[in-house]
Amino acid sequence: MNVRIRFFAQFGELLGTDIIAESSSGVALDSLIKEVASKNKEGYDAIFDEHGSFREFVIIMRNGKRLDMADAKKVRVADGDEIAVFPPVAGG
């Protein structure tokens, strides 16, 4: 099955902005993003902390609906899902 992953802002610079990931059915959302992000260490480290958890400021959307980060490990992706991974910016 195919899942579209979109990385925004500096995540996109490091990992690519629009990726179609092939995965087996029922894989956990955080595992899939880890797999895709692991191709670039800087990109991976920008999204995940040293324990492999999403950094607390990261925003994840699944099919246009924001995920509560506590659910990111429980959520299973489905064929055709679109996942957006977004880092808020803070400068002014």
Partner 1 sequence: MLFGEEGQERLKKSTIVIAGAGGLGSPVALYLAAAGVGTIKIVDNDLVEQSNLNRQILHNDRDIGKKKVDSAAEKLQSINPDISVWAIHTTIDTITATSLVGNADGIVDAMDNFATRYLLNDVAITIKIPLFHGAIRGFYGQATTIIPKKSACLRCIFPKAPPQEVFPVIGVTPGVIGAVQATEVIKYLLNIGGLLTNRLFIWDGMQASAEEIHVERDPHCEACGTKKGMRRKRT
Containing 43, the helix (H) or strand (E) segment is helix 41-47
Site for partner 1 in 13-72 (CB under 8 A): 13, 17, 56-57, 59, 61, 64-66
Q: Which is nearer to partner 1, 52 or 57 (CB)?
A: 57
- Residue 77: both structure tokens together: 């992706």
Q: How far is the CB of 86 from partner 1 (least distance, A)?
A: 7
For residues 26 and 88, which CB has a smaller minimum distance to partner 1 in the complex?
A: 88
For 63, left (φ over 0), alpha (ψ -120 to 50), or beta?
Answer: left
The residue range among 4-12, 21-29, 33-41, 71-79 that interacts with partner 1, by the rule CB under 8 A, is 4-12
DSSP state of 46: H
